[in-house]
Amino acid sequence: MVDNLPEVNNPKEEVEVDEKIASKSGKPKNYINLSEFLTLPQNDAAKILKMATSSLSKKWKEASNSRKWPYRTIQKIDKEIMTLLNNVSPYQPLDPVLECNLGKLLRRRQQELRPVLITK
């Protein structure tokens, strides 16, 4: 039943820099999509991106309208999902109330993992 969770690529494999986008000065800027790092603690994400944690934090807050780094929220949602799924028999259909609750949790998780771009 865990297979229904959205998968995130292994962030340790490589850091993907999005296409160059022109800034106001006309010079291209490199943007990094942080989506694959949001399931990691901010310190780990900063190490993988080879930048200071304080720099990542500052750029994150600018790009996400001062939203908190979602790692802890994602962990909490995943724990709730696993608690619900552990109480379900794999051979019986899902209770409609349980299915509704799982849907809400998955939507909330997806909302937390929405893409955010920062400048390199």
Q: pLDDT tens, 35-79?
A: 999 999 999 999 999 999 999 999 999 999 888 999 999 999 999
Q: For residue 95, is pLDDT > 90?
A: no
C-beta of residue 32 within 8 angstroms of C-beta of residue 18: yes
C-beta of residue 75 within 8 angstroms of C-beta of residue 40: no
How far apart CA 32 and CA 70 sit, in angstroms, is 17
Residue 82, C-beta contacts closer than 8 angstroms, at least 6 positions apart = 2
Single pTM value for the model: 0.71
Q: For residue 6, is pLDDT > 50?
A: no
Give the SS3 label for residue 117.
strand
Closest C-alpha to 80, from 56, 62, 107, 60: 107
C-beta of residue 71 within 8 angstroms of C-beta of residue 36: no
26 or 64, greater pLDDT: 64
Q: For residue 19, is pLDDT > 50?
A: no
